[in-house]
């Protein structure tokens, strides 16, 4: 059935490519499109009601355009979010959802700049790419820090991206010697999940200064557009590339990591395309997967058959969404599979790694963010409230939040009887999205090469070789942390499919000591032909008293596994260390002694830097 679906989809793509496009139109016949993107920021703007923000240029743009209340990055980190944008498909459908990965996609799947270029547009990107797609060729006419719409041919319509990093995570900490802030650190109103420390207040204060710098950069591009006499022919988008840079923003599936500002200004001649008059608000739910289809609709270019986004503007505008689909996988060196849906007022989250905390020790933010180090130190010292401490503790299997009454999503209402009907609807919506998109996020990353073989991971996932309903059932049961599921895990450990065995072993790991009856079957999985299964079985059996056998299995994967198998092994080893099962020095020795034989091997050996 799924193989037939692949053939039909590829036929549709072939037909799309075979149809000659209309002759390139003059700029006057179609709008130019300007995208201004800022990194790592939630709606911390004056025009979104933030009283501490000073963002006059974007506030002016909002007064001239429309603001979206419910715009979301589908993933809360740059590479996964940008890969969703460039492909017009959920990164999780293509297998490109893990941060900073390189995965092939089908050759016929054209990226949206390629489609716009074929339709006569000059496409420039200034200048971040950060895509997880492994493919050759340049989709842009120009992609560099010199790329600009002014470089197009006379009379040619353009699509131009300008990306600003002033608000990026790397810019949050005040530079050495900085003493003055526009907003005093003492005037910062902290979210309830942040403890009150000087470092956290200083990072927040400096971040608002960086947002003002970013606003000035956006203003400069808008001024260049006006000076060139192009503002009356150009639809301008401004949006953040995902949620904010402070801890629990970026990398986090909640609003603090996925909700973004989106402002769109329509010049007078294109005002008929606007969803509401200038200065107005739009409540429709939109997400990054919809942006490429929307631009193609505005520009009169064909929307490829495989695109999963829905145009929310232009002649090909679709029906409004009733929810958006959100996902996260590996962030930096840490694995954590999470899926969520968000409608206009509520969020439902399924944590498929509830044994891991939200706040894992990611090397990069711990290196660049004093606020991250300060928050963790407060937790270790026992000075955090329950809401603040929760970030560093294992997660619940499911979460449910009412955004209007709980905008910081700090009170999980998953067990609220009054919310049960809504929870059931959103739970069903999430399952339907996972199945409809043939979500590849349930495949351990180390398995990708062998499972896909000479196909792309997308084509593998579209085939019957990927029994996703059965896998999803096992993963759901694993995340429930319910000992009554153990009999299903025992059977799953003997399943012929390696992904089923993986999630069955994960269910045992999540149960901890309650999985004791599975010890012998877990021991057998230490010799599984698939390294990812061996790793999760080893971590599970270590919690059942078999530490030495577990370490032998983990050491073998560190020695012989591929890049991502060895990374999974290192994660297991580190959490065994945190659980007191393995001394730090022994864990460090195992990592230090790995041969790192693969060319280009860049596994972060973060444990070697721990005190």
- How much of the chain is helix, strand and coil, in % rounded to 5? 45, 15, 40
Q: Can you say how many angstroms the Cα of residue 348 is from the centroid of all Cα atoms in its chain?
A: 16
pLDDT on residue 605: 57
pLDDT on residue 8: 42
359-378 burial code (b ≥16 CB/10 A, e <16): bbbbbbbbebbbbbbbbbeb
Do 16 and 82 share a structural domain? Answer: yes
Q: Are 44 and 213 in contact (CB under 8 A)?
A: no
Do 378 and 493 share a structural domain? Answer: no
Name residue, tokens 């470092």.
199
Structure-block tokens of residue 571: 């994660």
Averaged over 557-579, what is the pLDDT? 92
Query: CA of 34: how far to CAs of 31, 164, 264, in Å?
Result: 10, 14, 10
Share of the chain above pLDDT 70, in %: 92
Does a structural domain hold residue 430? no
| pLDDT confidence tier of residue 136, bands split at 50, 70 and 90 | confident
Does a structural domain hold residue 459? no
pLDDT on residue 317: 98
Structure-block tokens of residue 94: 């293509």
pLDDT on residue 611: 53
Do 475 and 358 share a structural domain? Answer: no
pLDDT on residue 608: 60
pLDDT on residue 112: 98
Dump pLDDT digits (tens) for 213-267: 999 999 999 999 999 999 999 999 999 999 999 999 999 999 999 999 999 999 9
pLDDT on residue 427: 98
Does a structural domain hold residue 442? no
458-441-337 Cα angle (round to 5):
165
pLDDT at residue 17 tops 80: no
Name residue, tokens 């659980």.
579
Dump pLDDT digits (tens) for 341-400: 999 999 999 999 999 999 998 888 999 999 999 999 999 999 999 999 999 999 999 999
Structure-block tokens of residue 440: 């590849």
The CATH number given to whatever domain includes residue 235 is 3.40.720.10
Do 377 and 327 share a structural domain? Answer: no
Dump pLDDT digits (tens) for 432-479: 999 999 999 999 999 999 999 999 999 999 999 999 999 999 999 999
Do 174 and 118 share a structural domain? Answer: yes
pLDDT on residue 576: 96
Maximum Cα–Cα distance for the chain, whole Å? Answer: 74
Write the DSSP assignment of 243-272 as a string of letters. S-SSTTSTT-SSHHHHEEEEEEE--GGGGG
Range of the domain at 558: 467-609
Averaged over 530-557, what is the pLDDT? 97
| pLDDT confidence tier of residue 93, bands split at 50, 70 and 90 | very high
pLDDT at residue 594 tops 80: no
Q: How many angstroms separate the CA atoms of 123 and 137, rounded?
A: 14
| pLDDT confidence tier of residue 604, bands split at 50, 70 and 90 | low
Closest CA to 107 of 19, 14, 21, 8: 14
Q: Tell me, yes or no, if 78 is annotated catalytic.
A: yes
| Domain termination site, one of 319, 341, 363 | 341
Task: Give SS3 for 63.
Answer: helix
Task: Give SS3 for 199.
Answer: helix
Do 170 and 81 share a structural domain? Answer: yes
Do 353 and 320 share a structural domain? Answer: no
The CATH number given to whatever domain includes residue 508 is 1.25.10.10
Do 229 and 124 share a structural domain? Answer: yes
**Residues pairing with 281 in the sheet:** 67
pLDDT at residue 603 tops 70: no
Mean pLDDT of the chain, nearest integer:
93
Does a structural domain hold residue 521? yes
Q: Catalytic pick from 78, 123, 299, 508?
A: 78
Does a structural domain hold residue 439? no
pLDDT at residue 21 tops 60: no
Do 403 and 513 share a structural domain? Answer: no
Does a structural domain hold residue 446? no
pLDDT at residue 43 tops 80: yes
| Domain termination site, one of 391, 421, 451 | 421
Does a structural domain hold residue 429? no
Q: Is the peptide bond before 579 cis (omega within 30 degrees of 0)?
A: no
Do 318 and 197 share a structural domain? Answer: yes
Dump pLDDT digits (tens) for 500-511: 999 999 999 999
Averaged over 518-526, what is the pLDDT? 98
- How many domains are there within the chain? 3
Closest CA to 248 of 427, 389, 144: 389
pLDDT on residue 400: 98
When mean pLDDT is compared across 157-161, 253-257, 574-578, the lowest value belongs to 574-578
Q: How many angstroms separate the CA atoms of 77 and 75, rounded?
A: 6
Averaged over 83-104, what is the pLDDT? 96
Closest CA to 257 of 191, 185, 206: 191
Do 302 and 202 share a structural domain? Answer: yes
Instruction: Say what the pTM is.
Output: 0.94
Q: Are 152 and 33 in contact (CB under 8 A)?
A: no
| Domain termination site, one of 341, 368, 385 | 341
pLDDT at residue 601 tops 50: no
Interstrand relation of 122-126 and 158-164 (parallel, antiparallel or unpaired): parallel
Do 183 and 42 share a structural domain? Answer: yes
pLDDT on residue 256: 98
Q: Can you say how many angstroms the Cα of residue 572 is from the centroid of all Cα atoms in its chain?
A: 22
pLDDT on residue 25: 44
pLDDT at residue 595 tops 70: no
Structure-block tokens of residue 233: 């022919």
pLDDT at residue 602 tops 80: no
Q: How many angstroms separate the CA atoms of 559 and 557, rounded?
A: 5
Does a structural domain hold residue 432? no
When mean pLDDT is compared across 30-44, 48-62, 286-300, 561-575, the lowest value belongs to 561-575
């Amino acid at each position: 059935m799924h193989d037939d679906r692949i053939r039909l989809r590829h036929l549709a793509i072939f037909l799309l490519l075979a149809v000659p496009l209309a002759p390139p139109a003059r700029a006057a016949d179609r709008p130019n499109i300007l995208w201004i993107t800022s990194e790592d920021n939630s709606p911390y703007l004056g025009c979104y009601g933030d009283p501490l923000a000073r963002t006059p240029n974007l506030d002016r743009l909002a007064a001239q355009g429309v603001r979206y209340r419910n715009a979301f990055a589908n993933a809360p980190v740059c590479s996964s979010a940008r890969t969703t944008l460039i492909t017009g498909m959920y990164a999780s459908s293509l297998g490109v959802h893990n941060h900073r990965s390189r995965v092939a996609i089908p050759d016929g799947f054209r990226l949206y700049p390629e489609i716009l270029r074929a339709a006569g547009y000059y496409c420039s990107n200034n200048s971040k790419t950060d895509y997880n797609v492994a493919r050759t060729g340049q989709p842009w006419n120009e992609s560099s820090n010199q790329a600009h719409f002014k470089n197009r041919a006379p009379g040619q319509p353009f699509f131009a991206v300008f990306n600003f990093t002033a608000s990026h995570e790397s810019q949050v900490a005040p530079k050495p010697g900085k003493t003055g802030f526009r907003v005093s650190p003492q005037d910062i109103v902290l979210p309830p999940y942040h403890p009150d420390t000087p470092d956290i207040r200083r990072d927040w204060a400096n971040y608002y200064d960086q947002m003002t710098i970013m606003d000035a950069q956006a203003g400069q591009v808008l001024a260049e557009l006006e000076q060139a006499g192009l503002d009356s022919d150009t639809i301008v988008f401004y949006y953040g590339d995902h949620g904010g840079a402070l801890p629990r923003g970026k990398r986090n599936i909640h609003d603090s990591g996925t909700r973004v500002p989106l402002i769109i200004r329509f010049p007078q001649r294109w005002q008929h395309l606007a969803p509401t008059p200038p200065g107005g608000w739009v409540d429709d739910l939109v997400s990054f997967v919809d942006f490429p289809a929307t631009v193609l609709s505005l520009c009169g270019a064909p929307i490829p058959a495989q695109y999963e986004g829905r145009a929310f503007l232009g002649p090909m505008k679709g029906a409004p969404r009733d929810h958006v689909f959100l996902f996260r996988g590996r962030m930096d060196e840490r694995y954590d599979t999470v899926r969520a849906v968000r409608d206009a007022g509520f969020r439902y989250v399924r944590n498929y790694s509830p044994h891991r905390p939200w706040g894992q020790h990611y090397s990069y933010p711990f290196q660049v963010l004093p606020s991250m180090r300060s928050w963790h130190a407060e937790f270790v010292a026992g000075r955090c409230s329950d809401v603040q401490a929760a970030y560093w503790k294992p997660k619940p299997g499911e979460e449910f939040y009412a955004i209007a009454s709980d905008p910081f999503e700090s009170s999980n209402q998953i067990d609220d009887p009054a919310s049960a009907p809504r929870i059931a609807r959103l739970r069903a919506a999430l399952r339907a999205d996972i199945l409809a998109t043939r979500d590849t996020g349930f495949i351990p990353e180390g398995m990708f090469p062998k499972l896909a073989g000479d196909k792309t991971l997308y084509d593998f996932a579209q085939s019957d070789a990927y029994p996703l309903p059965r896998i999803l059932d096992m993963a759901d049961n694993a995340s429930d942390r319910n000992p009554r599921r153990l009999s299903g895990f025992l059977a799953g450990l003997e399943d012929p499919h390696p992904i089923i065995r993986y999630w069955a072993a994960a269910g045992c790991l999540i149960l901890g000591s309650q999985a004791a009856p599975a010890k012998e079957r877990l021991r057998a999985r230490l010799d599984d032909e698939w390294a990812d299964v061996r790793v999760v079985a080893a971590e599970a059996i270590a919690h059942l008293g078999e530490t030495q056998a577990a370490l032998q299995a983990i050491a073998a994967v560190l020695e012989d596994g591929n890049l991502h198998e060895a990374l999974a092994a290192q994660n297991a080893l580190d959490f065994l260390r945190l659980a007191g099962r393995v001394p730090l020095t022994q864990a460090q020795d195992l990592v230090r002694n790995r041969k790192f034989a693969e060319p280009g091997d860049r596994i972060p050996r973060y444990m070697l830097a721990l005190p």
